[in-house]
Homo-oligomer: A and B are copies of this chain.
Amino acid sequence: MIKTDEVTLTNFQWPTGYYNDGIEMGLGVSDKLDFGYLVSEVPASAAGTYTTNKFQAAPTKLTKNTINQDHQLQAVVMNSACANSCTGKQGEQNALTEQKLMSEKLGIDLNLVGVASTGLIGAQLPMDKVTAGIEKLSPHHDDNVTKAVMTTDKKPKQACVQIKMGGKTVTITGFAKGSGMIHPKMATMLGFVTTDAGIDGELLQQTLSQNVDTTFNQITVDGDTSTNDMVVVMANGMAGAPKLASTDDADFSIFQAGLHLVLQELAKQIAADGEGATKLVECNVEGAFSDLEGQEVAKAIVGSNLVKAAIFGQDPNWGRIISTIGMTNAHVDIEHVDIEVNGIKMVEDSLGLPFDQQAASDSMGANKVVIDVNLHVGSASGQAWGCDLTYNYVKINASYHT
């Protein structure tokens, strides 16, 4: 696990050399910002991770191909309300047109522009509105782009870290949209991280992929992977710190710790704001055979509908937790599993302990429930984050379309 002790979160601000905009173009039915862009004043090193869903949406494919050319990006244009997914050749053409219009507006190379969409699957982008939207965008330093990508999100997800690299202050700032269809396998929903650190593009890609595995890929809201999931990082070097070229560089570990914390914080905010959620559920697994198995068990627990519903109902029903552990492929010593919920020990050596049911239930009324599991088979660990399963999750997803 990455040590993030040396870095702390700070108030939202953009790194040097980035501007954004978020506007309302009426792409969806609701009265909200739905179109925006994020721009670096100079070309930035860029990296991305993308959905593993076979039906990858047109914008996701295009941005992946664009970034993979030379790991550079200067701008991303993005919208909510329409995912431009399962839209065939027309959808691919629309994503290309959007990319082209944005590159012309900014006067930059086509392959410095990424595109991102989220929302309903199967509908085509209304290109007249997209065209008008691109014309209307103008440079701002507020946080409206973080609101423009929201769908059923109740609030924008933002995280900011500042670190020192070579005596310079470097800022790493991320935002994301989440809510439903969240059970990433490789990448996830829409996440964007900007930094004024300088770092080689390939190294940035490698660092992002590793850190997404233990952050964004360890959250689940409903077990479903979207066709549009994507996390993009841009690093424009404008803080003036020495450019990172290798994991051996003096400042690499502090940069990685900062990036990890931003990704983890965004991941937790997405889980806490899962569709219909009333609380964040965090699971820490110790004593695992390997970190991968620790992560598998942690994610299975926060992903179980029965565990999630019990947490919504403040029901300290640990049988559902141990049953979920038994469903995984991880090594388990079936006679020596320990379980704590919010610090209350409920299971020792796989047997229920007497505990104050009412006190346990009351503690589960908080907006965060922490489940600690010890598998007692090794010394590895894993973490995952999710949310409770509520009436509102069902309500939101029973009527999203109409």
Contacts and interface: CB of A to CB of B under 8 A. Distances in A.
A153 to B, nearest CB: 16
Contact of A87 (B122, B225, B332, B351): B351
Interface stretch (A15-23, A32-40, A138-146, A392-400): A392-400
Interface string A331-359: 01010000000000001011110000100
A221 to B, nearest CB: 9
A178 B43 CA distance: 59
A122 B389 CA distance: 23
Nearest to A227: B323
A86 B322 contact: yes
Interface in A288-333: 304-306, 309-310, 312-313, 315-320, 322-327, 332
Chain A binding surface, main DSSP class: loop
Contacts of A398: 309-310, 312-313, 315
Contacts of A389: 394, 397
Contacts of A309: 393-394, 396-398
Interface in A225-244: 225-227
Interface of A: 52-56, 83, 85-88, 120-123, 180-181, 185, 222-227, 304-306, 309-310, 312-313, 315-320, 322-327, 332, 334, 347, 349-352, 357, 361, 389-391, 393-402
The 3 closest A-B pairs by CB, nearest first: A313-B398, A121-B319, A309-B397
